[in-house]
């Protein structure tokens, strides 16, 4: 929703030793600012990228020009670096042996250290404009992978990746091979699939389904895959300490995706059931905020016995408004995206189920629309706990000051959004719904407990904020 949809994820990556356009279509929800594909025919790499949706960037002529048997694709939501064509991915750079094209999902937390490393390697920093906003963490990694210290790109990657901190799912390629790497915590999802004619790596299992690939397994945290016509070689660059992002279950991933063996749809249904037990209310209808609130609303209706209905209609041609580069666009997109069905909700006591409250703009606008359409009562239920801490691993919760829950009790937030009541699922209820152990998940945006170091400047700010709260 443009008022503020849940948190914004950095992107979707897709690599295939054979297919890519349809895979990016399946991952469009992970980023709507730009899209790009790089292909290789074994001799040269071609990249086509532009600002816009996958369907806007690529036409038949563009796809026909991308000849080859290896491809890497990317859909971008910018969490670092400006939203410009220059920062669209895949990024392209020279190597000692040829060329590299790279797509990245996540955010790095030691970018300055990597820049320092780049400067140490004489002449390499000249390839990048390192001034603010003009260079992304992805471009820095691409440049570092171009080092001529080793004979192969695989050796260079194995040397570099242990120095890269933060969240990353990388898919990259040279003229003859495709590579995939996932950070040691496995914050962002990455899966390996198999086609009759080759191999596929994607951010979500749903993308494998779309292209007709069989899921083989998840790429392990701390693992580098090297893929060519001979098959898949696995190399480990770090010990696995899994801490997958719980917000993938809450909002980011498609409901038809599986993460760590758990269906996202099933997890969201269970979150709705838990929410009904934790925050019951007398009402006539349960309605979702589509689309991401729908599974939890169904679960709430099942557990509460209150009838489920579609009380808000969604404009199918408006994307995920929370994945917008500015607050103004998010706010203006709400009424473009959703409209109440007056004949359904007029005179009714409503339970409105959504996935999260970030800034509060979406819920405020929805409550107002429902009241204008004649709703007798509006009870808001949220299938995630209050978001209270920023994310440094690929979701756009930029500052604590922008978060509705920071410094405000639940009752104060309820007043701000204009609801008759407000209830959030507990962290325990949310964790149970994922069927994952708490120690295998990152809940930092809810708990303030980060699984790895945050950027130095952010770390000092967080420490000072926690001291004030204490």
Dump pLDDT digits (tens) for 98-114: 999 999 999 999 988 99
Output the average pLDDT for the chain: 87
> Which CA distances in Å does 275 have to 4, 256, 300, 428, 436?
21, 21, 7, 11, 18
Q: How confident is residue 17, by pLDDT bands cut at 50, 70 and 90?
A: low
* 381 phi/psi in degrees, rounded to 5: -125, 135
Positions of CATH 3.40.50.2020 in the chain: 255-469
- Helices 361-372 and 410-417 meet at what angle, rounded to 10? 50
In DSSP terms, which residues pair with 178 in a beta bridge? 173, 227
At 439, is the secondary structure helix, strand, or coil?
A: helix
Positions of CATH 3.60.20.10 in the chain: 11-245
Dump pLDDT digits (tens) for 239-288: 999 999 999 999 999 999 999 999 999 999 999 999 999 999 999 999 99
Handedness of CA 193, 197, 198, 204 (dihedral sign): negative
* Residues taking part in catalysis: 11
Superfamily of domain 11-245: Aminohydrolase, N-terminal nucleophile (Ntn) domain (3.60.20.10)
In terms of CATH architecture, what is 255-469? 3-Layer(aba) Sandwich (3.40)
Question: How many CB atoms lie under 10 A from the CB of residue 455?
Answer: 18
119-123, 224-228, 258-262, 322-326: the lowest-pLDDT one = 322-326
Q: How confident is residue 8, by pLDDT bands cut at 50, 70 and 90?
A: very low
The full DSSP string for 101-136 is EEEEES-BS-HHHHHHHHHHSTTGGGGS--STTS--
């Amino acid at each position: 929703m443009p008022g503020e949809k849940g948190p914004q994820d950095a992107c979707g990556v897709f690599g295939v030793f054979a297919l890519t356009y349809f895979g990016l279509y399946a991952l469009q929800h992970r980023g709507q600012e730009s899209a790009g594909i790089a292909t290789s025919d074994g001799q040269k790499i071609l990249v086509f990228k532009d600002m816009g949706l996958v369907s806007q960037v690529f036409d038949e002529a563009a796809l026909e020009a991308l000849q080859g048997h290896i491809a890497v694709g990317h859909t971008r939501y910018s969490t670092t670096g400006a939203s410009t064509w220059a920062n669209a991915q895949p990024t392209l750079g020279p190597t000692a042996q040829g060329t590299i094209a790279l797509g990245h999902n996540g955010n790095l937390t030691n970018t300055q250290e990597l820049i320092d490393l780049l400067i140490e390697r004489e002449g390499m920093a000249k390839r990048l404009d390192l001034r603010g906003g003009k260079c992304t963490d992805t471009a820095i990694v691409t440049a570092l992978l171009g080092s001529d210290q080793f004979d192969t790109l695989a050796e260079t990657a194995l040397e570099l990746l242990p120095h890269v901190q933060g969240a990353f799912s990388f898919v990259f390629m040279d003229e003859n091979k495709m590579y995939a790497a996932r950070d040691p915590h496995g914050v962002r999802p990455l899966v390996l699939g198999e086609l009759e004619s080759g191999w596929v790596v994607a951010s979500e299992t749903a993308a494998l389904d779309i292209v007709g690939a069989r899921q083989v397994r998840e790429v392990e945290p701390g693992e580098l895959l090297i893929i060519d016509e001979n098959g898949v070689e696995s190399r480990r660059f770090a010990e696995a300490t899994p801490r997958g992002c719980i917000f993938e279950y809450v909002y980011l991933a498609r409901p038809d995706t599986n993460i760590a063996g758990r269906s996202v749809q099933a997890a969201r249904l269970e979150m709705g059931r838990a929410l009904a037990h934790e925050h019951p209310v007398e009402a006539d209808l349960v309605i979702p905020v589509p689309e991401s609130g729908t599974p939890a609303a169904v679960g709430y209706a099942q557990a509460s016995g209150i009838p489920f209905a579609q009380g808000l209609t969604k404009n199918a041609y408006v994307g995920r408004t929370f994945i917008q580069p500015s607050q103004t666009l998010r706010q203006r997109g709400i009424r473009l995206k959703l409209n109440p069905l007056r004949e359904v909700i007029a005179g009714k006591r409503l339970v409105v189920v959504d996935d999260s409250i970030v800034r509060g703009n979406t819920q405020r606008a929805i409550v107002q629309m429902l009241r204008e359409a004649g709703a007798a009562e509006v009870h808001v239920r949220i299938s995630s706990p209050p978001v209270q801490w920023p994310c440094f691993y690929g979701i756009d919760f930029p500052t604590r000051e922008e978060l509705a829950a920071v410094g405000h009790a639940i009752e104060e937030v309820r007043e701000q959004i204009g609801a008759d009541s407000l209830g959030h699922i507990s962290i325990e209820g949310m964790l149970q719904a994922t069927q994952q152990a708490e120690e295998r998940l990152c809940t930092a945006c809810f708990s303030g407990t980060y699984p790895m170091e945050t950027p130095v400047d952010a770390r000092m700010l967080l420490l000072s904020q926690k001291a004030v709260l204490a």
